Amino acid sequence: MNQIVDVLIIGSGASGAAVAWSLAGTRMKILCLEQGDWVKQSDFPSNGRDWEARRYGDFDISPNRRARPTDYPVNDDNSPMKVANFNGVGGGTIMYTAHFPRMHPSDFRVRSLDGVADDWPVDYAMLEPFFAENDRMMGVSGLAGDPAYPPKQLPMPPLPLGKTGTRYARAMNKLGWHWWPSDSTIATTEYDGRAQCINLGHCTPGCAQGAKASTDITYWPHAIRAGVELRPRCRVREITTNEHGMASGAIYYDADGVERFQPAEMVILACNGIGTPRLLLNSASSRFPNGLANSSGLVGKNLMLHPWPQVRGYIDERVDGDRAPMLSLWSKEFYETDPARDFVRGYTLQFHRGTGVVNEAITSAAVGRLPWGQDHHRVYRDLVYRRLQIGIACEDLPEEHNRVTLDPVLKDSHGIPAPRIDYTISENTRRMMEHGIARAEEILTAAGANNLYTSRTILNSPGHLLGTARMGIDPERSVVNEWGRCHDVKNLFIVDGSIWVTSGGVNPTSTIQALALYIADSIKQRLATLFD
Amino acid sequence: MRTDPKTMLSPAESRDLRCVAGMMIPPSAAFGVPGADDAAIFADITASLGRDFADVRQALGALAALSGGAFADLDEARRAAVAEAFQARGGAALVTLTRVILQCYYRDDRVVRSLDLEPRPPFPKGHMLEQGDWSLLDPVRARPKMWRDVPPR
């Protein structure tokens, strides 16, 4: 049997890495089990001529399509949006765009401000020092002075505007709408051992240059040097509990498929908004018949996925295409609730630089805009490197019928029941989506684009898995308390996106990590009385 | 040569695939490019089927059914009519078939050069990106704060 550890962290992605690093200073014995492998920079697609094709293969964002031995399947048939994730050291940060907005102050107080959903038990001011610490650890580029946010300083200058950004900027100024260079975890200078971005493009499926911050190259080297053990290729089946109802460790399968038990004094879940409820539900026992930490019945419920329409158009000159990081600008013009609109809450507009040669052909053909025959060549040349595209990051509010359960049939390669998601887009969100689509069309038109096309729900978008083990003060209305400890199991913590109360209209990684650092700090402050 | 029917197309399927690839993207003297049925490109397509093999085979089966036999053996007018019906029917298998052709065609050196691009992977050379004119931000910098204050807890 393995030796007992003080802290067992399950999952090495955005939150697991941050909490491991933060707790390392306590000198506790810390172990992280990760179901995936280390990924080498030389494995990433941008090393080879088939870089675009591999996004539809072993670097697809869908675990169902990617189907690596380290992936688990997800039944997402009953959802218009499909699950995206990555299973490996670094988790979803291996496969994200590196767009790194924080939640806004209003996002934590939606009940008080807008009369919907619930307020969070924490707020922006409480998290602010952890946002800053995380920006330093991940290495964030950006520009101070954004009027959409309280003041903040970023460690590196912003990504360049480029030709595409300049086109958007002029259009936004013509309309008089807010825009600003995005916070991004792409290094614009050498930073903490990372090389400077050289504009490989294709940042989402990993950065061969190592300029994109994923936790395998940011937090983990520091945590491992500080004594944390990271054990890859270990897939956890269930959290075990003892006669006192406390977590006692985890049963997992090692790289050889051998079942093992890892005892622990404390367990921290960092498996994302799908993996965490799956594990809690798979940890049902006679004492916890509805799943571990589920006396509220809310484990798996309130799944939020961020509906993300995309509008694209084409201009009369070649711009940057895929020859630079995909996202570098945002607009918060429509982020805050406006009573004049027919929906509450709001969205971020994200401005894409364009796409690659192969992907332009594939995506245009898929929507019937690239003909067969002689005319193919002329039409294609009017598309390639001329695309402008705007993504609309919509806040979806928590609804209990949007949920993760265990699929009665589907299992992973170890025979562990797989998750099933049931998800619908609410009427409020639909109205928000249509508002955003109309604004995106105005922007593209102002930028001189034509041949507009809208995708209301793009498949596999966007991998933001939130809300399925929400935090709160009331044990009947939440799964974890205001510092991440499960109400039902006092040595079990959750630090990933599943603890979110609402979703905001931003990419979540920055806030997930700030929350994880805040929870780690709360643990450190309470070490003497942690399980009381 | 022995082939595995579970991972290799039959000669008839291969002929139909090459024919449909050539119809999708014919050679063009005007643009100085080969068609997708070019020998080197088609070899890349068949070597790259991988996890898409089953979908491609299904698409080719549907094409053969619409053709009443081998698609490649039809006369030109009939092939055009079948191809139109094939596209109109749509479906996931057709999307996959289209993708495997396009992803190989648009990475061929001759095609990439015809687009005034270098045929190379992004790494290690990368690309140059102009900084742009940051004075465009001046009107945004001048705006008052936009975030909402929140009431005290």
Give the residue among A266, A261, A143, A139 at the shortest CA–CA distance from A192. Answer: A139
- What pLDDT, on a 0 to 100 scale, did the predictor assign at position A460? 61
What mean pLDDT is predicted for residues A130-150?
A: 98
Give the residue among A324, A188, A210 at the shortest CA–CA distance from B127. Answer: A324
Q: Which two tokens stand for residue B127?
A: 């690309």
CA distance B92 to chain A (A): 10
Residue A348 lies in a domain: no
Place of tokens 């936790």: A215
Give the residue among A218, A240, A220 at the shortest CA–CA distance from A230. Answer: A220
**A335–chain B Cβ distance below 8 A for any pair:** yes
pLDDT digits (tens, 9 = 90+) for A419-433: 999 999 999 999 999
Q: Which two tokens stand for residue A123?
A: 């707020």
CB contact under 8 A, B133 and A362: no
- What pLDDT, on a 0 to 100 scale, did the predictor assign at position A78? 96
> How much is the mean pLDDT over chain A?
97
Give the nearest partner residue to A173 out of B126, B139, B147, using CB atoms. Answer: B139
- What pLDDT, on a 0 to 100 scale, did the predictor assign at position A142? 98
Q: Search chain A and give the residue with CA nearest B31.
A: A377
Place of tokens 């061969």: A208
Residue A227 lies in a domain: yes
What mean pLDDT is predicted for residues B104-122?
A: 98
**A374–chain B Cβ distance below 8 A for any pair:** yes
Residue A373: list chain B partners with CB under 8 A: 23-24, 26
Q: Search chain B and give the residue with CA nearest A65.
A: B51
Contact assessment for residue A181 and residue A329, using Cβ atoms and an 8 Å cutoff: yes
Q: Search chain A and give the residue with CA nearest B136.
A: A169
Provide the 8-state DSSP code for A72.
Answer: -
Calculate the CA dihedral of residues B56, A68, A507, A441 and round it to 10 degrees.
0
Q: Search chain A and give the residue with CA nearest B83.
A: A372
Residue A411 lies in a domain: yes
User: Band of the pLDDT at B46, cuts 50, 70, 90?
Assistant: very high
pLDDT digits (tens, 9 = 90+) for A510-521: 999 999 999 999
> How many Cα atoms occupy the beta-carbon half-sphere of A56 within 13 Å?
21
Report the number of distinct structural domains present in chain A: 1
Contact assessment for residue A491 and residue A137, using Cβ atoms and an 8 Å cutoff: no
Phi/psi at A408 (nearest 5 deg)?
Answer: -70, -15
CA distances, A465 to each of A181, A303, A460, B40 (Å): 25, 7, 12, 43
**DSSP code string of A257-324:** S-EEEEEEEEEEE-SHHHHHHHHHHHT--SSSTT-TT-TTS-TTBS-B-----EEEEE-SS---TTSS
CA distance B34 to chain A (A): 11
Model confidence at A202: pLDDT above 90: no
Model confidence at B49: pLDDT above 60: yes
Phi/psi at A382 (nearest 5 deg)?
Answer: -85, -5
In DSSP terms, A183 is beta-bridged to none
What mean pLDDT is predicted for residues A64-74?
A: 96
CA distances, A17 to each of A203, A251, A375, A508 (Å): 20, 21, 51, 15
CB contact under 8 A, A377 and B28: yes
CB contact under 8 A, A166 and B136: yes
pLDDT digits (tens, 9 = 90+) for A299-351: 999 999 999 999 999 999 999 999 999 999 999 999 999 999 999 999 999 99
CA distances, A42 to each of A45, A48, A207 (Å): 8, 9, 9
CA distance A36 to chain B (A): 21
pLDDT digits (tens, 9 = 90+) for A77-116: 999 999 999 999 999 999 999 999 999 999 999 999 999 9
**A376–chain B Cβ distance below 8 A for any pair:** yes
Model confidence at B11: pLDDT above 90: yes
Residue A432 lies in a domain: no
User: Band of the pLDDT at B6, cuts 50, 70, 90?
Assistant: confident
| A window 426-445, beta carbon within 8 A of B | none
- What pLDDT, on a 0 to 100 scale, did the predictor assign at position A440? 98
Give the nearest partner residue to B150 out of A106, A172, A335, using CB atoms. Answer: A106
pLDDT digits (tens, 9 = 90+) for A253-281: 999 999 999 999 999 999 999 999 999 99
Residue A134 lies in a domain: yes
Q: Which domain holds residue A66?
A: 5-152+184-304+399-421+464-529
- What pLDDT, on a 0 to 100 scale, did the predictor assign at position A457? 76
CA–CA gap between residue A117 and residue A6 (Å, rounded): 36
Residue A30 lies in a domain: yes
User: What is the CATH classification number for the domain harbouring A221?
Assistant: 3.50.50.60
- What pLDDT, on a 0 to 100 scale, did the predictor assign at position A458? 67
CB contact under 8 A, A169 and B137: yes
Instruction: Report the 3 state secondary structure along A350-408.
Output: EEECCCCHHHHHHHHHHCCCCCCCCHHHHHHHCCCCCEEEEEEEECCCCCCCCEEEEEE
Give the nearest partner residue to A105 out of B23, B98, B150, using CB atoms. Answer: B150
CB contact under 8 A, B150 and A384: no
CA distance B129 to chain A (A): 6
Model confidence at B4: pLDDT above 90: no
Residue B120: list chain A partners with CB under 8 A: 49
pLDDT digits (tens, 9 = 90+) for B62-111: 999 999 999 999 999 999 999 999 999 999 999 999 999 999 999 999 99
CA–CA gap between residue B65 and residue A207 (Å, rounded): 44
Q: Encode A64-99: b = buried (16+ Cβ within 10 Å), e = exposed.
A: bbbbbebbbbbbbeebebbbbbbbbbbbbbbbbbbb
Residue B30: list chain A partners with CB under 8 A: 377
CA–CA gap between residue A35 and residue A49 (Å, rounded): 29
CA–CA gap between residue A485 and residue A39 (Å, rounded): 31
Model confidence at B1: pLDDT above 60: no
Element (H, E) at A133: helix A124-138
- What pLDDT, on a 0 to 100 scale, did the predictor assign at position B7? 78
Q: Which two tokens stand for residue B74?
A: 């039809």
SS3 of residue A156 by DSSP: strand
Contact assessment for residue A348 and residue A331, using Cβ atoms and an 8 Å cutoff: yes
What mean pLDDT is predicted for residues A468-497?
A: 98
SS3 of residue A100 by DSSP: coil
Contacts of A284 (CB under 8 A, 6+ apart): A290, A291, A292
- What pLDDT, on a 0 to 100 scale, did the predictor assign at position A462? 75
- What pLDDT, on a 0 to 100 scale, did the predictor assign at position A461? 67
Q: Which two tokens stand for residue A350?
A: 């994200």
In chain A, % of residues over pLDDT 90: 98
Q: What value of ipTM does the predicted structure carry? A: 0.96
**A108–chain B Cβ distance below 8 A for any pair:** yes
Residue A365 lies in a domain: no
- What pLDDT, on a 0 to 100 scale, did the predictor assign at position A459? 62
Residue A207 lies in a domain: yes
